[in-house]
């Protein structure tokens, strides 16, 4: 009989360091890493290219032709779209905004939730996104919510984009990030917010490895909820 998959969720706003951390955590636990932002980005870009607007029927037809999967393991895990890896074109702040808009649509959220739950039903995961602990995997073994000030996050996003060879303007990134956060936090379905049983970590107070150490400390304590007794 297969063991029940271990699910660890990492949620939080843009640029908070979720991806770096989720990859390192997945590596240290030797389990897969699921980048759900990449799924919203890919869908947002496709809907934009096809000029769907809010046409539900058209969106449903497009989603019916999309199949997401996960290949590779640990930090090398990568989301696939119709069996191909996603390219760097989804990583711009503009596509982030398209993803955030697509994420407001119930039909898109339902489709991706089902996909993510199917993947997590058979594979142990570090699942990264906005609603992993609150909506998609409410029964996850451990839940973390990372936060930091918009300035800290914008600085981090600029260096991340530059390391990928994408030119970035700090002021513009900060403005776009604040707008995207507002959109993600106030949407009607699955808004960005910590699950009630999530550990909230202010990443601005730590170096990246410090956050990883803090998470390992929680995992080793065996406490599934903040404040719970071991
Ligand atoms: O994590 P990211 O920046 O790649 O995410 C891009 C957008 O996708 C984000 O602004 C909102 C949306 N998103 C979402 O609504 N739910 C998720 N689980 C992941 C991303």
What angle, rounded to 10 degrees, do the helices at 150-163 and 170-186 form?
A: 120
Percentage of the residues of the chain whose pLDDT score is greater than 70: 97
Q: pLDDT tens across 206-222, in order?
A: 886 899 999 999 999 98
Please provide the average confidence, as pLDDT, over all residues in the chain.
Answer: 92
Q: Average pLDDT in the 54-59 region?
A: 89
Q: pLDDT tens across 136-146, in order?
A: 999 999 999 99
Protein residue with least CA distance to atom 13, ligand 1: 37
Q: pLDDT tens across 168-198, in order?
A: 899 999 999 999 999 999 999 999 999 999 9
Q: pLDDT tens across 87-108, in order?
A: 989 988 899 999 999 999 999 9
Q: Average pLDDT in the 61-70 region?
A: 96
Write down the CATH number for the domain with range 7-217: 3.40.50.300
Ligand 1 residue neighbourhood (C-beta within 6 Å): 14, 36-37, 40-41, 96, 99-100, 103, 129-131, 180, 184
The confidence score (pLDDT) of residue 207 equals: 80
The confidence score (pLDDT) of residue 76 equals: 87
The confidence score (pLDDT) of residue 228 equals: 61
The confidence score (pLDDT) of residue 12 equals: 96
Q: Which atom in ligand 1 lies closest to the alpha carbon of residue 38?
A: 4
The confidence score (pLDDT) of residue 188 equals: 93
Mutate to test the pocket of ligand 1, among 14, 22, 35, 37 (most ligand atoms within 8 A of CB): 37
Domain ranges (residues) in the chain: 7-217
Contact 5, 125 (CB under 8 A): yes
Q: Average pLDDT in the 35-45 region?
A: 97
Mutate to test the pocket of ligand 1, among 7, 22, 79, 100 (most ligand atoms within 8 A of CB): 100
Q: Compute the distance from residue 37 Cα to the ligand 1 centre, in Å.
A: 4
Between CA 72 and CA 77, with CA 76 as vertex, the angle to 5 degrees is 50
H-type alpha helices, the chain: 18-29, 36-49, 56-64, 93-102, 106-122, 150-163, 170-186, 208-221
The confidence score (pLDDT) of residue 229 equals: 46
Residue 230 has pLDDT above 70, yes or no: no
pTM (2 decimals)?
0.93
Contact 176, 182 (CB under 8 A): no
Protein residue with least CA distance to atom 16, ligand 1: 130
């Amino acid at each position: 009989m297969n063991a029940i998959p271990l699910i660890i969720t990492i949620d939080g706003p843009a640029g908070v360091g979720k991806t770096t951390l989720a990859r390192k955590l997945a590596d240290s636990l030797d389990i897969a890493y699921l980048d759900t932002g990449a799924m919203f980005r890919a869908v947002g870009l496709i809907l934009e290219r096809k000029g769907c607007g809010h046409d539900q029927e058209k969106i449903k037809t497009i989603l019916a032709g999309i199949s997401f999967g996960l290949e590779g393991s640990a930090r090398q895990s990568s989301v696939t779209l119709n069996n191909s890896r996603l390219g760097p074109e989804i990583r711009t702040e503009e596509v982030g905004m398209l993803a955030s808009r697509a994420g407001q649509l119930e039909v898109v959220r339902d489709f991706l939730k089902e996909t993510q739950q199917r993947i997590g039903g058979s594979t142990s995961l570090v699942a990264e996104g906005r609603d992993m602990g609150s909506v998609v995997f409410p029964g996850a073994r451990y839940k973390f919510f990372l936060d930091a000030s918009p300035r800290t996050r914008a600085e981090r996003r600029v260096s991340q984009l530059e390391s990928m060879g994408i030119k970035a303007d700090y002021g513009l990134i900060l403005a776009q990030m604040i707008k995207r956060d507002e959109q993600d936090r106030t949407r009607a379905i699955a808004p960005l917010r910590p699950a009630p049983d999530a550990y909230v970590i202010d990443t601005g107070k730590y170096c990246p490895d410090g956050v990883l150490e803090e998470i390992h400390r929680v995992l080793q304590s065996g406490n599934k909820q903040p404040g719970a007794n071991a």
